[in-house]
Copies of this chain bind each other. A is one copy, B any other.
Amino acid sequence: MAIRVVVQEEPFDFGAEAEGFAAGRTDMGAVVTFTGVVRDVSGTLATMEIEHYPGMTQKALEKIATEAEARWELGEVLVIHRYGRMGPGERIMMVATASKHRGHAFEAAEYLMDYLKSRAPFWKKESGAEGASWVAAKDEDEDALSRW
């Protein structure tokens, strides 16, 4: 079982990461990826800036991935998350899971996302025509943790 966690400012190559993830393994029948993209909800977003807590981010993501590994049969787990400035349509982050069973791969990816949203130290700030504002956490994101 291999966990890889990457926190970086520069864009990542989603196609290459997807292509390379669990590639060539003959014991994993199911691969799931999730990708988060900067969404321009109002039509006026210029940039999104993601702040993070450098000393804590990597550790927090590794902890979440390790917990997923303990709950499901996973062959590989990948988490990539960017920080810094990005524009509408840019990929913010991705997770990928590989398992023998499609149910495990799906559930583990959803678990990673639910915990990453509420437990990894990232904060989004949107800037556009109407000024700049911090994205508020949603109650539903915290509530999502209760299903695990």
Contact = CB atoms under 8 A, between A and B. Distances in A.
Chain multiplicity (copies): 2
Given A32-B34, A34-B102, A39 B26 contact: yes
A24 B87 CA distance: 10
B15 A19 contact: yes
Interface residues on A, range: 35 or more
B24 A31 contact: no
A73 interface: no
Among A24, A30, A35, A36, chain B packs the most CB atoms within 10 A around the CB of: A35
The secondary-structure label for the interface of chain A is mixed
Given A25-B37, A31-B37, 18 more contacts: A14-B18, A15-B20, A18-B18, A18-B19, A22-B37, A26-B39, A27-B40, A29-B36, A29-B38, A29-B39, A30-B37, A31-B35, A32-B34, A34-B102, A39-B100, A102-B113, A106-B106, A106-B110
